Amino acid sequence: MKNALTLLVAGLMALGLAVGCKNETPKTAETPAPATAPAAAPAAKGKSGTVLETMNSGGYTYVQVDTGTEKIWAAAPEFQVKVGDAVVVPEGMAMANYHSKTLDRDFEMVYFVDGIMVGGAEAMAQAAQMPENHPVANERTKVDAAPVDLKGITKAEGGNTVADVFTNKEQLVGKEVKIRGKVVKFSPEIMGKNWIHLQDGTGAAGSNDLTVTTNVAAKVGDTVLVVGKVVADKDFGYGYKYDVILEDAQVTVE
């Protein structure tokens, strides 16, 4: 009898363990947290140093600068500089893993700036006078270009003028517009695109120059027909802001 009781208790215990195992909810494997996206590269802030290497390509001058603590690459609209010159690189737009098609060269980091100061002590003094957070010039309002004759430009049939786009940007956002004008500034291969400043003689300061991005090449003075969608209040970061811009436009040189 004692042996039978012992076997009964053992059986009940085994049954309880089996039921407990069946009812236990299996643990879900932990999903690894996604890797944090790399932060945007910071802008160079008034770095100065000596030029180690320089080259011209696509309307830009590239310089490698030894600041004493690091070596950086910077690019600005073409200018005169030579190895050994002392330069100051102002705040600019940092482009990581940048490939230059015209140079067929890869750069781990390039700082694109409006201009690089050359001239040793004179350049250093000029940089020292800049406020600490000296902003990058707004591409829309600052256009360093040779004078272009805007007379005789006829409005595209069924199209708009530059002034129209600025005045009616809220109504035109997302819509395709067609504009005939002249190229007053051309900057190739910035962020993988060509950049055109377009004017047609309409508008006033702040509303007479329209920025266009495209994969088509043009030169200053060309008359072009541009077809593209309107984008308003575009902010590329690092001080590059546009009230209105035409992105990825079709450009026909006439």
DSSP string of 129-183, one letter each residue: TS-TTPPPPPTTT---------TTPPPPTT-B-HHHHHHTHHHHBTSEEEEEEEE
Domain residue spans in the chain? 47-128, 162-253
Eight-class DSSP state of 221: T
| Tokens standing for residue 153 | 């430009």
Please state the pTM of the whole predicted model: 0.52
- Determine contact, residues 83/112, Cβ cutoff 8 Å: no
Question: Topology of domain 162-253, per CATH?
Answer: OB fold (Dihydrolipoamide Acetyltransferase, E2P) (2.40.50)
The candidate with the shortest Cα–Cα distance to 196, out of 249, 159, 160, is 249
Tens digits of residue pLDDT in 130-159: 333 333 334 433 444 558 899 999 999 999
Instruction: For 167, list phi and psi in degrees, rounded to 5.
Output: -65, -40
Q: Measured between alpha carbons, how far is residue 77 from residues 13, 116, 168 in Å?
A: 85, 9, 32
> How confident is the prediction for the chain on average, in pLDDT?
76
The reply to whether 47-128 and 162-253 are identical in fold is yes
Tens digits of residue pLDDT in 11-38: 434 334 343 443 443 333 333 333 333 3
Alpha-helical (H) ranges within the chain are 2-23, 121-128, 162-167, 169-172
Question: Topology of domain 47-128, per CATH?
Answer: OB fold (Dihydrolipoamide Acetyltransferase, E2P) (2.40.50)
Give the residues of the chain that fall short of pLDDT 70: 1-46, 120-146, 191, 236-240
